[in-house]
Amino acid sequence: MILEKYDVAIIGGGSAGLAALKQLSKLGKQAILLEAGTKVGSKNISGGILYSKKPKKGKVTNVDDLYENFLDDAPYERKITKYILHSTSKDKEYSMDLTEAHDYQANFGCSVLMNKLNSWFANQAVESAEKIGGGIIPGVHVKSITWYEGKTIIQTDELEEFEVKAIIAADGVNSEVAEMVGARSKFTPTQLYQGVKVIVKLPEEVIDERFGIGPEEGAAHLFAGDITLNHIGGGFLYTNRDTLSLGAVYHYDSLIRNPVEPYGLIDALIRNPLVSEFVKDVVPIKKEIDKSLPQEEQLRIRFGVAKLIKTWKEFRETSLSPNGRKSLIDSGKYKTNEGIQEKLSTIEKQMSEKFDVTFGEDYVESEYGAKLVPDGKRCRMEKPFFKNILFIGDAAGRGVFVGPRIEGLNVGIDDGVRAANAVARSLDKDDFSEIYMGQYYTQLVEESPYTLDMKQIDKDYLKIFLDATKDVPKDIIGSRYGPILKMMSSGTFRGIAVKFANILGYDKLLPMIESEDTYVKVPIQLAERLGVTVSSTYSPSIPSIADRIAKLSYNDDHESHIKVLNSDSEFMKKIVTLCPAKCYSEEGGKVVIQHEGCVDCGTCSQETEWKHPRGEKGIHYQYG
């Protein structure tokens, strides 16, 4: 049989894989990208902030280097101009401004939603890729990679098998490619974070006013203290254009030790009075329909109310956006902003007079999701290749997580470019051996400033962070950390201490740095001693996990992509609690799965036969 042939296959259509495709196309090299989703972006989810960096030493390829029109044309949300850390304890909160730490070595950092951003990346990459015989093939799941008589053969669930010269694996933290070829073991809970996130709807100008930002500005808020429910990690809130990304990220091993429902961590965050006030909006309250009315009349009222509320929501959102108002005026329907406001008031009057709709305060949740995140300090692949396969981004266990510094997207983009450069070099020489391609790629990755950040403490970044905490009483820090902070506050001793710490290595320091003290106890004491009292004007109506899952978009597959290997293990019994989608239950002492509501996070992968769903199947995020 004659096989179809391609130079390069990129597996995974996230921002890292798309960066590799874009760079290969720039270099005139043929490449195809295989994406499991119906379209690029529908399977991706991130916190998330995308950074453009300017390291002191070395160079990285930034998103605006690769996509030169990024700042002018890309659908990013907002440039982050405020970065605040909040310590919480019940109704008390203490804030520290970490904006200088956020700006450290950064050209900019912007909030992003992955569905529309990765779709834009794909459009930028695909045109040039198609001109040289490549492109993007959506709806495809790779099921095997084999080597036979000097050929590399890829088999999928959807296409005829085909031959390639090189592969770039960008299939995420739960990389099936890595597992099927034996490139690395599955990441363990000690090497991972679990993140859960909800999208909260909020009009653009309400966000501007509430967070004290301009139309082109954004804010990031981090949370630690009692909202963690005694786990190592914390919460985040990022402003998007007309939504908020609200989430919780925790050390997975901390959750294993003290299991709690992931959505419970989100709920605890939402119930915090500061967060409740951040996310609240005006919501319509429908009157109960008189059940004594004829069924047809009840149905007429129900449809009438729903239609009018939908009209109100859409018009209000448009009226509270500068671009929205401009489009309404440009359409000729309205001459002034006052006319737009009058129309909104008219709709509200109709709602009140026709259907007795009133207005109150609540928050509006649009999407729920979850994922695992690799901790590059603990799990980056020191050998990010296997035969003629190169691993990038999350698939290679690469990400920068140092205190409040959280970077993954920019690392993956830089990795994708480095992998593309290594593959292009091999195509020129027709040499795809581990010695020529794999080791050269490893050298490129080791030269990355991001790799250094995964290996060593940056004393200049540490100084900025310490300066931000200078007003914290040392007795709150406690005997364990007080002397260390005092020594670190001295420029002379800080340099010596950091050198000594880097000799010891992150693995020796992390148990002390990333502890219940730093994420829970100290923040609680800070809030109680130095914090201000915050009250909320309402009690948020938090959806159940069943309601959250019901709102998501799925293309159900009758074949489960997950097989439980040991149904009575202690780990799987904890997964009953830890699965973000509540897919697991225990029956007669055995753990069983109902896979249809799975959000493809991989939380259970450690003791299951875990695969991504077949092409076009499973979860499809609207926001991501």
Q: Does 305 fall in a domain?
A: yes
Of 158-167, 434-443, 465-474, 506-515, the poorest mean pLDDT is in 506-515
The total of structural domains in the chain comes to 3
* Same domain (yes/no): 292, 330: yes
List the CATH number of the domain containing 584. Answer: 3.30.70.20
Q: What is the pLDDT of residue 488?
A: 46
List the CATH number of the domain containing 437. Answer: 3.50.50.60
pLDDT for residue 502 is more than 60 = no
Q: Does 94 fall in a domain?
A: no
pLDDT for residue 486 is more than 80 = no
* Same domain (yes/no): 9, 130: yes
Q: In whole angstroms, what is the distance from residue 243 CA to residue 329 CA?
A: 24
* Same domain (yes/no): 52, 166: yes
| Other Cβ atoms closer than 10 A to 429 | 10
* Same domain (yes/no): 18, 146: yes
For residue 441, what pLDDT band results from cuts at 50, 70 and 90? Answer: very high
Q: Does 321 fall in a domain?
A: yes
Mean pLDDT of 209-229: 97
| Helix (H) or strand (E) segment spanning residue 153 | strand 151-156
* Same domain (yes/no): 349, 440: no
DSSP state letters, 426-451: HHHHT---IIIIIHHHHHHHHTSHHH
* Same domain (yes/no): 439, 328: no
* Same domain (yes/no): 34, 120: yes
pLDDT for residue 402 is more than 90 = no
pLDDT for residue 469 is more than 90 = no
Q: What is the pLDDT of residue 493?
A: 47
- Examine the fold and report which residue of 430, 455, 480 is the final residue of a domain before the chain moves on: 455
- Examine the fold and report which residue of 330, 362, 394 is the final residue of a domain before the chain moves on: 362
Q: Does 439 fall in a domain?
A: yes
CB burial of 478-512 (b: ≥16 within 10 Å; e: otherwise) equals eeebeeeeeebeeeeebeebbeebeeeebeeeeee
| Other Cβ atoms closer than 10 A to 343 | 15
Mean pLDDT of 237-241: 98
**Distance between terminal CA atoms of the chain?**
41
Q: Does 240 fall in a domain?
A: no
* Same domain (yes/no): 177, 296: no
Residue-wise pLDDT for 333-353, tens only, equals 999 999 999 999 999 999 999
Residue-wise pLDDT for 431-440, tens only, equals 999 999 999 9
Range of the domain at 589: 552-620
Residue-wise pLDDT for 47-93, tens only, equals 889 999 999 999 999 999 999 999 999 999 999 999 999 999 999 99
Residue-wise pLDDT for 267-302, tens only, equals 999 999 999 999 999 999 999 999 999 999 999 999
Q: Does 193 fall in a domain?
A: no
Placement of tokens 């130095």 in the chain:
530
Q: What is the pLDDT of residue 461?
A: 79
Q: What is the pLDDT of residue 133?
A: 94
* Same domain (yes/no): 297, 387: no
Of 103-107, 264-268, 473-477, 530-534, the poorest mean pLDDT is in 473-477
Q: Does 530 fall in a domain?
A: no
Q: Does 228 fall in a domain?
A: no
* Same domain (yes/no): 70, 173: yes
Q: In whole angstroms, what is the distance from residue 470 CA to residue 475 CA?
A: 13
Percent helix, strand, coil in the chain, to 5, is: 45, 25, 30
Mean pLDDT of 543-565: 95
Mean pLDDT of 461-474: 74
* Same domain (yes/no): 63, 148: yes
Stated pTM of the model:
0.94
pLDDT for residue 1 is more than 90 = no
Mean pLDDT of 215-239: 96
Placement of tokens 């020129």 in the chain:
428
* Same domain (yes/no): 357, 388: no
- Examine the fold and report which residue of 393, 426, 455 is the final residue of a domain before the chain moves on: 455
| Helix (H) or strand (E) segment spanning residue 467 | helix 459-468
